């Protein structure tokens, strides 16, 4: 949507600064968002995005600076103040009550009442149905929210914000939990709302989304505004460079974004078959998966979120029970019935949900690094802190981890550094096969490069990697890619056979079953008018991050 230069400013942020004990999170940020536009806010973790969102949503009070809504200066001392001024926030983790109905959720806090404070159900349902229709969903408002899909829940959240007369919507990574067809739906809804005059600040790291949806993007770096780009006159690589503060020309991410050919992570497979998987099945998750894994190979398992690649990766690491099939490692049958057995067989897992599965938050970096190999650092079950710490320091140096000391608690590290520590855990054990499940989810652009570099090192040192990922650029880095759809392997593609944009992979995502219907009934009638087919963006390829 080209910006009409005559449009007025809806949301103005000027000189906003905020310090937390000792840390200057925001150092005077100015952003101006035009009425009815979608303005992206991008930046690495720690750049100040979330602090700015908290300030705009009233959750935090800035130390200095001003906020204006529709030209009027506002002061938010609480989320209620922000909402009263028409600024509604939709957080990554939805804040709905799953047991209550859609109608109750939409009108929560503002339930229509009859005499004697009894709830006026009829009015409530009508109001809720109106709000739901406005965001283009057709959902029974009596349904408990817990029964809805994530996309529908997000629709309810949007409807709730609209019901509260939102002038400005803050959307904090709304697509992080959505499958691609629903992402498209959401974008249609958001574009429709923008056409109705709702102004949006859209937070995301995903370049392809920004370029599909937004009008402008403001990049934050180290608490300052690095630059505001007009989407129409910029390229993703410029935005990414502004985010990391350096030229990305030679990085993998840069290569992937610019559509050049992506170099492989590893030196390529050897002839030696390390692992043989035959008809591996987990009921309801994946079926009849068979492949040979060669030593030194980087094998990608690609698929849309929910296609079974994550479950397959976990099963190969012994973290999930399987219901059928066989795995042989070095020609010997491996039961892989528990992570412990898989680890003994030389397998290490970088789990998908780092915080929930990857590390012990209160424990030191050293403790987390040595967690899987305690016997190596102990005699008669008595540990040696000295040996643990010296090994941990060696890995901290080798992996370039940013820590103040190996005694630092794990929870205080950035996402990328945490991921390195988990990788270090397997390096200590000299794992032969590293299984990564969405290895760069939730880490920022700079740390992504570091993680690719580490995987490259691991492969160069003779290690073998299995990488389950829904990100196309990651699949492009593998020697070979198994493409999964609906729990089955639908294609096996070699690196050479994949075009630079990964279209060959994307084509297989539909799998044998091309009839995957878009969820719920489409109510495009209400939004159609607002949906503009995206004008072909300069030379931005049709790259899609598929989560």
Partner 1 sequence: MSGQTTPLRPGTASTTGGQTAREKRSAAESLRQALPKSYLLLVLLGIIIIGFIASPDFLTGRNASNVITFSAIIAVLAVGQFFVILTGGIDLSVGSTVALSTVVTAMLLQQGLPAGVAVIATLVACALVGVFNGVLVVGLRLAPFIATLATLSMVQGLSYIIQSTSLIQISNQQFITWFSDGSVLGIPNPVVIFVVLTIIAAFVAKYSTFGRRLYAIGGNREAARLSGLPVNRDLLVTYTVSGLLAGLAGLLAAAQLLQGSSLVGQGYELDAIAAVVVGGASLFGGRGDPISAVVGVIIIATITNIMNLVGISSQPQLVIKGAVIIVAVFLSSAGGVARISGALSGLRGRRAHREKAA
Residues that bind partner 1 (CB under 8 A): 19-21, 63-64, 317, 319, 338-340, 342-344, 349, 351, 356-364, 366-367, 371-372, 374-375, 378, 381-383, 385, 389-390, 393, 404-409, 425
Query: Nearest distance from residue 226's CB to partner 1, in Å?
Result: 24
Query: Nearest distance from residue 423's CB to partner 1, in Å?
Result: 13
Cα dihedral 461, 466, 469, 475 sign: positive
Q: Between 290 and 405, whose beta carbon lies closer to partner 1?
A: 405
Query: Nearest distance from residue 291's CB to partner 1, in Å?
Result: 23
Query: Nearest distance from residue 463's CB to partner 1, in Å?
Result: 18
Contacts of residue 270, defined as CB under 8 A and 6 or more positions apart, other chains included, come to: 294, 295, 296, 297
Q: Between 22 and 71, whose beta carbon lies closer to partner 1?
A: 22
Q: Between 19 and 59, whose beta carbon lies closer to partner 1?
A: 19
CA distances from 532 to 78, 145, 194, 504, 547 (A): 37, 31, 12, 27, 23
Neighbours of 471 (CB within 10 A): 24
Q: Tokens 């949806």, residue?
A: 213
Neighbours of 260 (CB within 10 A): 11
Query: Nearest distance from residue 429's CB to partner 1, in Å?
Result: 9
Q: Between 227 and 393, whose beta carbon lies closer to partner 1?
A: 393
Distance of alpha carbon 406 from alpha carbon 391, whole angstroms: 10
Query: Nearest distance from residue 406's CB to partner 1, in Å?
Result: 6
Q: Between 162 and 315, whose beta carbon lies closer to partner 1?
A: 315
Query: Nearest distance from residue 450's CB to partner 1, in Å?
Result: 20
Q: Between 389 and 440, whose beta carbon lies closer to partner 1?
A: 389
Cα dihedral 191, 195, 198, 201 sign: positive
Q: Between 43 and 318, whose beta carbon lies closer to partner 1?
A: 318
Query: Nearest distance from residue 535's CB to partner 1, in Å?
Result: 46
Q: What does the H/E/C string look like for 262-302? A: CCCCCCCCCCCEEEEEEEEEECCCEEEEEEEEECCCEEEEE
Q: Between 6 and 382, whose beta carbon lies closer to partner 1?
A: 382
Could you tell me the maximum CA-CA distance found in the chain, to the nearest angstrom?
A: 80
Rounded to the nearest 10°, the torsion over CA 267, 273, 274, 279 is 120
Distance of alpha carbon 162 from alpha carbon 193, whole angstroms: 9
């Amino acid at each position: 949507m080209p910006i009409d230069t005559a449009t007025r400013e809806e949301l103005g942020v000027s000189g906003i600064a905020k310090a937390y004990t000792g840390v200057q999170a925001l150092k005077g940020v100015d952003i101006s968002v035009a009425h009815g536009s979608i303005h992206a806010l991008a930046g690495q973790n720690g750049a100040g995005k979330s602090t700015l969102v908290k300030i705009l949503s009233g959750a935090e009070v800035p130390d200095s600076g001003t906020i204006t809504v529709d030209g009027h200066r506002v002061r938010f001392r609480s989320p209620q103040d922000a909402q009263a001024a028409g600024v509604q926030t939709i957080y990554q983790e939805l804040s709905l009550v799953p047991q209550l109905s859609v109608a109750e959720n939409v009108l929560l806090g503002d339930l229509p009442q009859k005499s004697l404070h009894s709830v006026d159900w009829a009015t409530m349902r009508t109001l809720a149905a109106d709000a739901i229709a406005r965001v283009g969903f057709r959902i029974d408002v009596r349904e408990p929210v817990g029964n809805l899909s994530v996309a529908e829940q997000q629709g309810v959240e949007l409807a709730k914000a609209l019901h509260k007369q939102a002038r400005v919507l803050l959307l904090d990574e709304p697509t992080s939990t959505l499958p691609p067809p629903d992402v498209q739906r959401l974008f249609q809804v958001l574009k429709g709302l923008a056409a109705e005059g709702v102004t949006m600040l859209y937070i995301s790291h995903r370049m392809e989304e920004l370029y599909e949806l937004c009008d402008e993007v403001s990049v934050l770096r180290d608490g300052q505004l690095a630059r505001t780009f007009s989407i129409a006159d910029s390229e993703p690589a410029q935005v990414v460079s502004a985010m990391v503060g350096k030229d990305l020309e030679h990085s993998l991410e840069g290569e992937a974004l610019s559509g050049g050919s992506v170099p492989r992570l590893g030196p390529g497979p050897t002839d030696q078959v390390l692992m043989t998987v035959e008809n591996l099945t987990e009921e309801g998750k994946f079926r009849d998966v068979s492949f040979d894994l060669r030593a030194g190979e980087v094998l990608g398992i690609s698929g849309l979120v929910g296609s079974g690649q994550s479950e397959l990766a976990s099963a190969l690491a012994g973290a999930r029970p399987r219901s059928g099939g066989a795995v042989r490692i070095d020609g010997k049958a491996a039961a892989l019935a528990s992570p412990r057995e898989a680890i003994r067989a030389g397998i290490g897992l970088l789990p998908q949900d780092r915080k929930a599965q990857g590390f012990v938050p209160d424990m030191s970096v050293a403790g987390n690094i040595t967690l899987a190999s305690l016997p190596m650092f102990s005699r008669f079950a008595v540990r040696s802190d000295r040996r643990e710490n010296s090994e941990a320091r060696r890995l901290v140096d080798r992996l370039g981890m940013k820590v103040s000391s190996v005694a630092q608690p794990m929870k205080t590290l950035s996402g990328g550094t945490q991921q390195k520590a988990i990788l270090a855990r397997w390096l200590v054990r000299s794992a032969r096969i590293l299984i990564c499940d969405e290895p760069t989810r939730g880490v920022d652009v700079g740390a992504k490069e570091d993680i690719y570099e580490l995987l490259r090192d691991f492969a160069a040192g003779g290690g073998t990697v299995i990488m389950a990922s829904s990100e196309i650029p990651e699949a492009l880095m593998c020697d070979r890619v198994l493409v999964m759809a609906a729990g089955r392997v639908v294609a096996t593609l070699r690196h050479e056979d994949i075009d630079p944009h990964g279209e060959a992979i994307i084509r297989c995502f539909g799998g044998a079953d091309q009839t995957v219907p878009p969820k719920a009934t489409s109510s495009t009638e209400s939004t159609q008018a607002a949906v503009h087919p995206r004008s072909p963006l300069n030379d931005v390829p049709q790259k899609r991050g598929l989560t």
